[in-house]
A and B are shown apart, each in its own frame.
Chain A
Amino acid sequence: DAKTTQPNSMESNEEEPVHLPCNHSTISGTDYIHWYRQLPSQGPEYVIHGLTSNVNNRMASLAIAEDRKSSTLILHRATLRDAAVYYCILRNRKSNTGNQFYFGTGTSLTVIP
């Protein structure tokens, strides 16, 4: 699977929107873009995933660039509970390695009250 690049850390004020960027310049046409987050002392938690179109769910929105070489996870109103490490991961839909996700080091999000 292709690799991703994320900033090491970001800060946001509580109740403001947060835009977490991810670069994936070597993405292939069959790579899904996944986002997971890991709260302190917990296992990673699924946030959202998409292929080409923007996606929304109850947790967040995923905006995918037209050339698919970058994407942005959008938290519409950050809360203190959103403080976590956010991982952007590519997964090839044709992969035969099932659950082998490459996590990288992610972006550590700090939410300021």
Chain B
Amino acid sequence: ETGVTQSPTHLIKTRGQQVTLRCSSQSGHNTVSWYQQALGQGPQFIFQYYREEENGRGNFPPRFSGLQFPNYSSELNVNALELDDSALYLCASSLPDRSSGANVLTFGAGSRLTVL
């Protein structure tokens, strides 16, 4: 089975621009979440999508938005980019762990965004 794939792997934008990052879930996974990881920090939860709707959000402003498609793939959109948006953006997909009910996440390798 394929894992989680993200594109692009690296990109550079300037302040005020908009960016779209893409994620293909692991086969059969129906829940997708996005994380932002600044240099030297742990990943921070942005939001989660299930059945094409956002159903959980971290402490991120509305200019961070997303989509989930019927095939469970997903996009993260960031408008009006700021310098502090420079980070690694990680996508994770999941199904509930059948044996214990605890979610196990499968992450992609991430998209490295640099805002100049």
**A interface, CB within 8 angstroms of B:** 32, 34, 36, 41-46, 49, 51, 85, 87, 91, 93, 96-106
A99 to B100, CA, bound (A): 15
Pick 15 A–B contacts, CB within 8 A, sort by A.
Answer: A32-B102, A43-B92, A44-B105, A46-B105, A46-B106, A87-B42, A93-B102, A98-B31, A98-B56, A98-B103, A99-B33, A99-B105, A100-B45, A105-B41, A106-B42
CB contact under 8 A between A103 and B48, given known A32-B102, A46-B106: no
A99 lies within 8 A of B90 (CB):
no
**B interface, CB within 8 angstroms of A:** 4, 31, 33, 35, 40-45, 48, 50, 55-56, 58, 90, 92, 94, 97, 100-110
- Our pick among B50, B56, B100, B110 for the contact of A100 (Cβ within 8 Å) is B56
A105 to B40, CA, bound (A): 8
Residue of B nearest to A105 (CB): B42
A79 to B56, CA, bound (A): 37
A98 lies within 8 A of B90 (CB):
no
- Which 3 residue pairs of A and B lie closest in terms of their CB atoms, listed nearest first? A43-B107, A103-B42, A99-B33
Residue of A nearest to B50 (CB): A98
A98 contacts which chain B residues (CB < 8 A)? 31, 33, 48, 50, 55-56, 94, 103
A44 lies within 8 A of B90 (CB):
yes
CB distance from B37 to the nearest CB of A (A): 8
A103 lies within 8 A of B44 (CB):
yes
Q: Known contacts A41-B109, A98-B94, A103-B35; can you find 14 more A-B pairs with CB under 8 A?
A: A42-B109, A43-B109, A46-B105, A49-B97, A87-B42, A91-B103, A97-B48, A97-B56, A98-B103, A99-B31, A99-B105, A101-B43, A103-B42, A105-B42
